[in-house]
Chains A and B, each alone.
Chain A
Amino acid sequence: MKKVLVVDDSLSVARQLEKIIAESGDFTCVGHAKNGAEAIKMNHTENPEIICMDMNMPGMDGLTALRTLSVMDKEVKVVMVTSLGGVGDKFTEALRLGAKNVISKPFEAGDVLRILREL
């Protein structure tokens, strides 16, 4: 089972993602961080293989955390999950900073799992 860390300030999005991951059969959720700074700490303590991270969060946002993670940990695969996925500049910036893909909100369980399985 691949370990996934969910990073989102929204409790409801974290719940949605945790449910999709738990019911997938091939991924397990190792925790929920509420901002970029917590994500960096939990990446160290939980050692996930995949991070699903929001872009727009109070405190350290997702792109700042992605920039740090791509320097600190070359192994972890980050997928951004955001309502801003359709904004070309944001999408491009995420890929340039090392994100493996960007999932737009609203999302469906099938799309999330397909992207996670492709990593």
Chain B
Amino acid sequence: MAVKFFGQFLIGQGIVSGEALLNAIDLQEKNNLKFGEMAAAMGLVTPAEIQRAHNAQMSKDMKLGDLLVEMGVMTLVQMNDVITRQKSTHLYIGEALVQVGALTNDELQKQLDAFKADQAEYVSNGIELPITSANSQIWEMTADLTYKMITRVLDLRFRPGKCTLATVIPQNFMLAAMDLSGDVEARYLISVSEGLQKSIARAILSETSVDDEPAEVLEDTVMEFVNVVCGNVAAKASQTGIIININPPVTLHPPADGLPIPEGHRALSFPIHIDDGDTMELILLIKE
């Protein structure tokens, strides 16, 4: 039901054991050299030069290879050679499982097909953003996964509205927010009315009525929905090598004139028109 990686899928299906997966991951870690390790193995850099570049990375937001080129330690052609060698020798988890004897080649292909079918619902659909940014594909994927989870987890029918740049976060009954850090820096917010909060609570708690639930529990269900979406966003991002850390969710109650957009941030607003006439809003507060 959630975004998974291949090893997790295989354990879930009882195809491989946790021990076999860890053996395969150990093999991957030995085999798949990082850029500096590969460059050193190819005789292009010395450990001292790598250390110098690592030190320089403390003050410069650059990849190790780009930095080594800028420092004159290697040429652009050599950097590309290292990347090509990394790609051509990369051992995928399925191949590693075959090598440790946990899977046969035939079984691997069969399970890869089954995995693809299992995860098909999380293949991203196109979403148009009003801005271009280095991480546009992450924000598109975040909105797309939010829509998919509204269907899967909340069982609500809706129509996504056009994404716009917001100048204020409007007042609503409540907002649940989660800070994202790592390779991106942003705040994920879901804004809901009182009615939608109850719809979310009914779905999360699997109850037909939540009228007697304390406010604390109702708010918690919206935070949990945000947690589920952001965790799955982090999982999906990790498949493309992008690290996203999530933090415990919080709730916000904006004043009547809304919340201002903090300086240095842009706010993407995604209105979500629910079939009963209510509107939920996804807001991505992105640090630029």
Q: Chain A: residues with CB nearer than 8 A to chain B?
A: 9-13, 15-16, 19, 56-58, 82-89, 91-92, 95-96, 100-102, 104-108, 111
Contact = CB atoms under 8 A, between A and B. Distances in A.
A105 B3 contact: no
Nearest to A19: B206
How many chain B residues sit at the interface, stated as a range, is 35 or more
A82 B1 contact: no
B5 interface: yes
B8 A91 contact: yes
The 6 closest A-B pairs by CB, nearest first: A83-B231, A86-B235, A104-B2, A86-B3, A88-B5, A12-B221
B11 interface: yes
Interface in B115-167: 149, 152-153
B205 A15 contact: yes
**Is the contact region of chain B dominated by helix, strand, or loop, or is it mixed?**
helix
Contacts of A104: 1-4, 8, 231, 235
B224 A12 contact: yes
A82 B231 contact: yes
Interface string B224-237: 10011111101110
B195 interface: no
Nearest to B8: A91
A12 B205 contact: yes
A13 B224 contact: yes
Contact of B246 (A84, A91, A108): A84
A5 B235 CA distance: 26
A7 B224 CA distance: 14
A95 B2 contact: no
B258 to A, nearest CB: 27
Contacts of B234: 83-84, 86-87
B231 A84 contact: yes
Contacts of A87: 5, 231, 234-235, 238
Interface string B183-206: 000000000000000000100111
Contacts of A101: 11, 18
A9 B248 contact: yes
Contact of B248 (A57, A95, A107, A108): A57
B7 interface: yes
A85 B234 CA distance: 10
B18 A85 contact: no
A75 B232 CA distance: 31
B22 interface: yes
A55 B195 CA distance: 30
Contact of A111 (B1, B7, B22): B1
Interface in B1-40: 1-5, 7-8, 11-12, 18, 21-22, 25
